[in-house]
Structure 1
């Protein structure tokens, strides 16, 4: 076994395509040079279709959390009110960011493994006329749930004057996102998920309605001042030092995404989700998310008392060089999560399912070898 061949099947960071890795190895250029400015401006425009916007996409050096924080510090002031939809660990992160800046947070919480429904949001907003922003997570990575963002956006528009701000870190570039058409005001994401890059870039797009609010506020941070990024983007640059090598890689990612086309990318991710879920059902392993709200980029499984999720993960890693994710928060040690996004295709899914079957047998769990693979193959054959 090749000890340096580790196969990542976690919901980020995801594997880097060789051609993207090669692009990042280009010689460094000046980040204030005309060469970089032209490259940067073209790349920003190429990102817009994946957000579903005609507006600018701002690129900053930072993790996805930096863009989450940017969406807070530019739209709200201490003492103002926000609703945060909490369906897992990353909804909770949005709430904590808001609270750190003195914002009054109303949590709409659902059980982990469930989605926030439009009906629940409508009822929750009914007695909160002072709310300035509603924060939601598109794909809740910790549970494998994909919240119905389009429908939730409609409710926010119908029931309030609040901005609707969406964390799409673990799914943008793999799912439909039409922020202009749906009425979403801010969408944020990061580089290390469906965009197939290392951690280190964050992206944010804002609507005209959001900009009306941003322009009326004093930002609560220096590095994350969105008005500074808008001013610099007009000059084809960034206000602070950009991650040049990651931008080189982003150009090649855009090439790959454009070559496949967003409709085909979405179908590929839906297929990998369906294959994974069919396999887990065939193996008798309970799924956390319902069919209606199952994420296309990560599948969460809850074995309960059938076997030890951490023991499975250990055998996968040490015996088969495959890494899957564990649980977070109160689910730590209780669930496992399979990432299937970015540089991943259906045959990769078959590989991880086969390895899970073998690992289950190795830890003494009841398993019929081949049952999960067969179920996934049947899903795949129905699509080819």
Structure 2
């Protein structure tokens, strides 16, 4: 195989504002939303922080569900603004229960926001997003969903579920570039964000994006465009649309089932059962007496996409990555074969 020549990435053609507006419209359709879509020229963690920075302020109160590192960070960013944060924590590396969310909502009827991560690549779990958003709708509370990992791996229709703010990126199930992301913002979410004391002249200001992009008729990108990322996002969307988003989701579901079945065939227990599992990665705890780091070293020799889980409760788990283009039965079967070989005495 010939070595990749990075020089081909130099001097890309420009990506005009009209095309960017087209990307935003395609992303809205993909997410099932009529809300405004703002492109953020950075990895999705910046978009998440921008949401916290733009919403949070003294007197603002959020109920923040923590089932992994990103929920933990989101709460920290909100507190930095002076906002009050009530955390709903699940058992380590496990999904939250709808019952716990309902109890917290009932105990804090003055909350302005409910924030949740849909699926956690860190541990391979999935939160019960439909039930959680339904609870928020019943109480008329603003919602923020981190769908960075889940979009394309799980069915998700933002408007139908009542999600006011959704943060997403293409680098996971959509198999696109990591250097760009987006935020959808509903009209009632803008009422909380677009205010006189909102952050301005900041990378973390959603109001800046609104005024410089939406209010200006989407005629010129704020800041300096990143054409490589924009062209890559367009190519990823071309591929997703050609396959069909329903088929992309189904492919991820098939890969997840095959991974769980493969683990069970080896006498291993998947960390999450079918009702709690993400379609993106499948995690398991190594057998008693097997050192996770040593096992991982052997697995990585066969496939570098094996990895340890991230965060409390997940850091002793080993993850099988079947996200994006790896959501393929041949890839999953290869990972299971590598695992079987690595476990042989």
Superposition TM-score, scaled by structure 1 size: 0.82
Say whether 1:111 aligns with 2:91.
yes
Which residue in 2 is equivalent to 1:76?
56
Does 225-234 or 126-135 show the bigger shift?
225-234
Structure 1: distance between partners of 2:270 and 2:33: 34
Which residue in 1 is equivalent to 2:275?
292
Which residue in 1 is equivalent to 2:148?
169
Say whether 1:188 aligns with 2:167.
yes
Structure 1: distance between partners of 2:266 and 2:220: 51
Which residue in 2 is equivalent to 1:355?
338
Whether contact under 8 Å (1:68, 1:167) holds in the other structure is yes
RMSD: 2.3
Relative distance call for 1:128 and 1:217 in structure 2 (3 A) is farther
Which residue in 2 is equivalent to 1:29?
13
Whether contact under 8 Å (2:18, 2:218) holds in the other structure is no
Moved beyond 6 Å, runs of 4+:
none
Relative distance call for 1:120 and 1:210 in structure 2 (3 A) is same
Structure 2: distance between partners of 1:91 and 1:121: 14
Relative distance call for 1:249 and 1:352 in structure 2 (3 A) is same
- Partner SS state of residue 112, structure 2: strand
Which residue in 1 is equivalent to 2:242?
259
Say whether 1:96 aligns with 2:79.
no
Q: CA deviation at 1:28?
A: 2.3
Whether contact under 8 Å (1:309, 1:333) holds in the other structure is no
Structure 1 unpaired stretches of 5+: 6-17, 365-384
Relative distance call for 1:158 and 1:76 in structure 2 (3 A) is same
Which residue in 1 is equivalent to 2:203?
223
- Partner SS state of residue 207, structure 2: helix
Q: CA deviation at 1:300?
A: 1.5
Higher RCO (CA-CA < 8 Å; seq separation 6+): 1
Superposition pairs of residues 136-285 of structure 1, within 5 angstroms: 136-159=116-139, 161-216=140-195, 218-220=197-199, 222-231=202-211, 232-233=213-214, 234-285=217-268
Structure 2: distance between partners of 1:141 and 1:78: 32
Q: Deviations over 1:241-261 (max 9, x none)?
A: 232101101111111001110
Structure 2: distance between partners of 1:315 and 1:304: 15
Does 243-252 or 70-79 show the bigger shift?
70-79
Whether contact under 8 Å (2:177, 2:232) holds in the other structure is no
Structure 1: distance between partners of 2:76 and 2:320: 26
Structure 1: distance between partners of 2:125 and 2:225: 33
Q: Paired residues, what number?
A: 339
Relative distance call for 1:355 and 1:237 in structure 2 (3 A) is farther
Structure 1: distance between partners of 2:230 and 2:142: 30
Structure 1: distance between partners of 2:257 and 2:331: 14
Structure 2 unpaired stretches of 5+: none
